[in-house]
Amino acid sequence: MTLPSSFRTGLRRSLLAAAVGTAVSGMTFSSAAVAQERELLNSSYDIARELFAAINPEFQAWWEEEHGEEIAISQSHGGSSAQARAIMQGLRADVVTFNQVTDVQVLADAGLVAEDWQDAFENNASPYYSTTAFLVRKGNPKGIESWDDLVKEDVQMVFPNPKTSGNGRYTYLAAWGFAENEFDGDEEQIQDFMRTFLRNVAVFDTGGRGATTSFIERGIGDVLISFESEVNNIRSEYGSDDYEVVVPPVSILAEFPVAVVGENAERNGNSDLAQSYLEYLYSEDAQRQLAGFNYRVHNETVVAEFADQFPDTELFEVEDVFGSWEEAMENHFEGGALLDQLQRR
Amino acid sequence: MSQLAFWRSGSTRVLPGFGLSMGISVLFISLVLLLPITGLFGQLANLSLAEYFAIITEGRVVASYMVTIGAAAVAALVNAVFGLLLAWVLVRYEFPGKRLLDALMDLPFALPTAVAGITLATLYAGNGWVGNIIEPMGFQVAYTWVGIALAMAFTSIPFVVRTVQPVLEDLPAEVDEAAMSLGATDGVAFRRVIMPHLWPALVTGTGLAFVRSLGEFGAIIFIAGNMPYETEITALMIFVKLQEYDYAGASAIASVVLFVSLALLLAINIWQGRFVRRLHGGKG
């Protein structure tokens, strides 16, 4: 029996996923599909549920006004690596809105997304961005203001495992970037700093929401490290009396890349819709909504409106410190690379 | 004579439908069991032998075997003792709520394992109902390997109860009464009369519980803490490899779990065959 090799790989992958991955997939579907309408599927990261639940109706209204067509938008949420895997295995998402540049790149490498996807939309195809910030308990009893406060002996941190979570990778890279600057690039001192940093982690959850649960519900640790948007959302959800947000003076720029999954959008007859949907995220209305969810945005009017909400912070890019995402992954996160070495006993 | 003729005509089996039922069984097993396993080994074909061994003997992965096997062994043994006790209570005694307890035994199978894990973590964390009592006493369960064993014990207890229960039901109370009337003490009757009948089922149940625990992910991950070298389970190592799009690496580690499980199940089967033959007086 001869099968096209892409089919075979796909098959093998899905079989493997079925064999070892049934319990680990945390994906959910929500759909407002009505028959006959065109339906756009947006595959997104885990913690973007509420965000797109707010933006989608606005886009639908806007599209209907412009084109007189009613459309449906479905959302799929999960860890963005798992989402990328699902698309490679055949999930027919029209667009991706991820929190990991690398996960879009994987799709580009597989030929599902255009190679020059980062030039397809403004700002590296990242309509909004965030940074890594801290959530501390009321009154900030351990006096945590910046990254070097985290390596003190009596501080316990909670952030997701960099091995399984993009959120955790940003935290690791942000700490590394801080240390690189602090120790003027002295490799030995940076690694010592990172070793202590990693040792102060109380629990490694597999994803951002798990870490939140450990910190809030289980009362573990002195500080939760996550995206600035996420820690602000947590604080407004769980009460501003019990927690405080600390944005460190230096931190990392976290991009939230978007892309059209060309092949799928074409097959679904949604190319125009997909393009328009992602462009809409740059519109003033959408940017205002994004800022409302505590994401930093580019639109100048909106930036001015929300100026109080986002403290001035020196943000460095992954490319500044680590060369490229590819190099950061290779040198730090792959099996046997720096992260493994730092955690080795 | 006519019966003999029937025996000889065509099939050697009395029961009709062998071809069809066997055919469907083979198809079903192939689709749901053999095909996924073949897929798993298909991934392994991408690795050289040296790469394969490098992956499965990497320090952190080996540490995860220790954690997983150790906790699974503890969970299986605890389940062997308490599962036997539960089966005994359910079969031999009448009490109000017996049917409810019986039905409750299957709950770990019915409950999504992630729900079980989150519930256990909620109870046993420092600020949970159980945790805030035992942690001041110096016992930490959540985020240690004890928590891992607890989650494993929870998800695998039905295996022991459900394998021992029917055997115990087939063993009438008259058997131990007869032993007593012949002068056996309680202990002797239990050891020499009852246990020999239960061993095969108990060992099978315990073995299944152990193997089930080796592969458990959902229930454990929320209570494990997942600290490298200390509370990382093998299923997490597989998850990490998948996260890195390293399908071959994930398959390599999964194959180790698969081999250990298969070897254990096979060993139990062989031992059981011999044991039963010896029990019934045949040559072992």
Higher per-residue confidence, B2 vs B222? B222
Largest CA-CA distance found in chain B, in angstroms, rounded: 82
Q: Which domains does chain B have, with CATH numbers?
A: 61-279 (1.10.3720.10)
- What ipTM was estimated for this complex? 0.76
Model pLDDT, residue A4: 43
Query: Measured between CA atoms, how close is B219 to chain A, in angstroms?
Result: 9
Residues from A contacting B (CB-CB < 8 Å) are: 11-21, 23-24, 79, 81-82, 85, 106, 161, 163-164, 201-206, 210, 213, 217-220, 333-336, 340, 343-345
Q: Measured in Å, how far apart are chain B's first and last C-alpha atoms? A: 38
Model pLDDT, residue B282: 55
Mean pLDDT per block of 10 residues along chain A (345 residues) reads: 41 43 41 65 89 95 94 89 90 93 93 94 95 95 95 94 90 96 94 96 89 91 94 87 93 95 93 96 95 94 93 92 93 89 86
Q: What is the pLDDT of residues A240-297, one digit of tens each?
A: 789 999 999 999 999 999 999 999 999 999 999 999 999 999 999 999 999 999 999 9
Model pLDDT, residue B216: 93
Q: Which domains does chain A have, with CATH numbers?
A: 30-127+256-281 (3.40.190.10), 131-253+313-343 (3.40.190.10)
Q: Please name the residues in contact with B277: beta carbons below 8 A apart, sequence gap of 6 or more.
A: B283, B284
Whether B221 contacts chain A with CB within 8 A: yes
d(CA A282, CA B266): 61
From B55, B225, B245, residue closest to A203, measured CB to CB: B225
Model pLDDT, residue B276: 83
Mean pLDDT of B7-14: 59
One DSSP character per residue, B139-175 reads ---TTSHHHHHHHHHHHHHHHHHHHHHHHHHTS-HHH
Mean pLDDT of B13-41: 89
Mean pLDDT of B265-273: 92
Model pLDDT, residue B244: 82
Q: Is the pLDDT confidence value at B261 over 50? A: yes
